[in-house]
Amino acid sequence: MAHQASEETIHLVKEIFRSYLKERNQRQTPERFMVLEEIYRSDGHFDADDIFFNMKNSGTRVSRATVYNTLDLLVECGLVQRQQFGKNQYYYERSYAYQQHDHMICKECGVVVEFCDPRILEIQKLMEKIHDFRVDGHSLHLFGTCNDVKSCNKRKESGDKIKSISSES
């Protein structure tokens, strides 16, 4: 489901972020825009340290604090979504121009399966109508365990971070 963002999308999200920072009298530092670009050039889910180490390994000088603060700003302005998959750690993903999707999470190995089902949107619209309510967004996490125990155990033993597997419905 996730692919690297186009140059056009990256330019557009930079402009959205620039306007957001300006409206709130926040500094428009090159480092903040480098964090944004790193995120939109990355795939799937990531944590703050993934971004920090990716940037550090590519020679970009940015502090861990800048990464964390920038992620908070990007969540506030709607360009990044924050997810917590049942642990004490937050994971992030791009949210501009990406299809709404939901997640199934294995409690054993931590694999994340992204899925999109249009019936969820239908339920959302029905709930809005019944309860006279306007939904701005939603987050659905289904927790369980992988049926493929062998693959699940391999992921658990290797200590791999959350991986995304897309599934089209």
- List pLDDT tens digits, range 38-54: 998 887 788 899 999 99
Buried b (16+ CB within 10 A) or exposed e, 138-151: eeeeeeeebeeeee
Placement of tokens 């944004």 in the chain: 36
CA distance 152 to 154: 5
Task: Please write the tens of the pLDDT for every residue from 92-145.
Answer: 888 875 556 677 888 888 777 777 676 877 888 899 999 999 887 777 878 899
Domain architecture of the chain: domains with CATH: 7-94 (1.10.10.10), 102-168 (3.30.1490.190)
Three-class SS state of 106 = strand
Backbone angles phi, psi at 142, to 5 degrees: -105, 125
